[in-house]
Structure 1
Amino acid sequence: MATTNGASVDIQGPLKELDDIYVDINGIVEQLVEEEAALHAKYELKKVPLYQKRQGAIDKIPGFWHTCAFSYLKSIDIERSADMPVNYKIIFKFAENPYFTNSELAKEFDFSDKGSIKVTNPEINWKEGKDLTAAPPKLEGEDDDDCFTENEDTSFFCWFNDVNGSDLADLIANDLYPLALMYFTGSSESDDDEVPVYDELAQDDVEEEYEESENAGSDEEAEDAPVNKRPKCT
């Protein structure tokens, strides 16, 4: 009830009417977001031949993707569905490395079913003792019965085990990938203050060790970045 000139007025009906109107407005906003995403994906699909041409130029720049992302990465590719471009697969190609035998890791996202996401993760074939997603060893004096409720000090690679991970996927597919040259040169034309994907995928200590290993002519020095410096799982 509300009071107007001393008289009580029932406003529950008008408030309900306003609420219904806002529900309809939000429905239009959601439709706008979906159509914008579909339009963006459609034009990203049109860029595929140019991205392929770009990779040819990237191949001539030593360590390009290492600078944009992380060690041993040779290339990133986004493969979109021609029928529904909002569905995509992120493909990472790697040079031979001390951690796993896969030359390619791909994570696929299917947004066809409105309100849910179907995610397909790859299987990583880790080399013995090199699983970067494994829980860190217990500290000296820690009880054997202690359990890890959250594996805080693990690698970016645990994203490949994430049943979702679409937020990071969106940053990679729609920011890092199309703006790769900006990440490489350190420039940015973004209008927002979001943390670059580079900060999530790469850590300074891994880069420094990798560079040192190149100078020394040995890959062994680049192995096993300190566990407490690895990016956290998302």
Structure 2
Amino acid sequence: MSSKGVKRASPGAMEAKNPLADVELTDEDAIKLQGIQKDIARADLIVERLAQQKMKPVYEKRRAIAKGIKKFWPVALMNHPILAMHAQHNADQVALSYLEDLWLVRDETESRTFTLEFYFKENPYFSNSVLRKEFRYVPPPNAGKETPDADGITPIMLDFSWDRDVQPQACKVEWKDEAKNLTKLHPRVLDDDGDDIPAEGGSFFNFFEMGSDPFEVGVIIANDIFPEAVDYFLGQAGHDDIDEDEDEDSEDDENEEEIDLEKPRPKKQKQA
């Protein structure tokens, strides 16, 4: 008795048909989804603006307390792992140790844009008592023609784009001595391939003197460090996303003044 060959099923023939492959979106439903997305964006913006208003007096109260704590803001900044990467030079850390206060001023028209104000005490590096980094709102051409609704929201606000509508501004640092000019000693180094992200960030103070903010340092400070400054000062935030850089300072910083910006240790309470 001759045997007949048996056909084998082709690979994947026994796989179940994807039950979600036949989903189609009608034009009408697409319009409805776009509409609800705008409603969600509008509600989110209202909540965000209201939260900013409610938090301002709380931040002012924190500001008064922080001014009485030695090196509050330098420690808070350096305890953020990403920002610490942009202030790796010991000279940057020494200059930042003179920082007494940091404040955030939001634009009255577009609250998602802001100016960061760094207040310094007298120091051997620069004569500025305040260094400001403004992320200026540049409204689209038709923005002024729209009337805000009862919540102060205009349609163009729902189309806000950070890359399109914001222009970071430069701030001149009045260096006292060329030997202390950190942006010349440690300039940004552009990428040879023409990438927008520099190969080396150089001194932290390039953040002020150069208009662009390719590493989004301003956004990190405004949206991450400033709201959670106490946690960063105490070393209780910011260590989950990236390992801390424990490398020693480079040889060109060996002669700079040493400064301790480690996590503050609470004093032991005296026994009654």
TM-score range, shorter chain: 0.5 to 0.7
Aligned to 2:206: 158
Instruction: Tell me, yes or no, if structure 1 residue 178 matches structure 2 residue 227.
Output: yes
For residues 75-94 of structure 1, the aligned pairs below 5 Å read 75-94=101-120
Aligned partner of 1:58 among 66, 78, 93: 66
Task: State the AA in 1 paired with 2:182.
Answer: L
- Superposed CA deviations along residues 187-219 of structure 1, whole A, max 9, x for unmatched, are 13x7x94349xx79xx9859981249xxxxxxx
Identity of aligned residues (%): 29
Gap regions ≥5 residues in structure 1: 1-13, 138-146, 213-234
Matched pairs, number: 184
Aligned to 1:99: 125
Task: State the AA in 1 paired with 2:203.
Answer: S
Asked if 2 retains the 8 angstrom alpha-carbon contact of 1:79 and 1:89, the reply is yes
Indicate how the Cα distance of structure 1 residues 119 and 30 shifts in structure 2: closer, same or farther if over 3 A, else same.
farther
Task: State the AA in 2 paired with 1:157.
Answer: F
4+ runs deviating over 4 angstroms = 14-19, 21-35, 147-151, 203-208
Aligned partner of 2:170 among 121, 124, 134: 121
Larger Rg: 2
Instruction: Tell me, yes or no, if structure 1 residue 72 matches structure 2 residue 98.
Output: yes
Instruction: Tell me, yes or no, if structure 1 residue 39 matches structure 2 residue 89.
Output: no
Indicate how the Cα distance of structure 1 residues 41 and 193 shifts in structure 2: closer, same or farther if over 3 A, else same.
farther
Q: CA RMSD in A?
A: 4.0
Normalised by the size of structure 2, how large is the TM-score? 0.53
SS of 2:233's equivalent in the other structure is helix
- Equivalent-residue separation in structure 2 for 1:90 and 1:51 (angstroms): 14
Answer 1 or 2: which has greater helix percent. Answer: 1
Task: State the AA in 2 paired with 1:53.
Answer: K
- Equivalent-residue separation in structure 2 for 1:66 and 1:33 (angstroms): 35
Task: State the AA in 1 paired with 2:69.
Answer: I
Alpha-carbon distance, 1:77 to partner: 0.3
Alpha-carbon distance, 1:110 to partner: 3.0
Indicate how the Cα distance of structure 1 residues 85 and 131 shifts in structure 2: closer, same or farther if over 3 A, else same.
same
Asked if 1 retains the 8 angstrom alpha-carbon contact of 2:134 and 2:169, the reply is yes
Task: Using CA pairs under 8 Å that are at least 6 residues apart, name the structure with larger relative contact order, 1 or 2.
Answer: 2
Alpha-carbon distance, 1:174 to partner: 1.4
Normalised by the size of structure 1, how large is the TM-score? 0.61
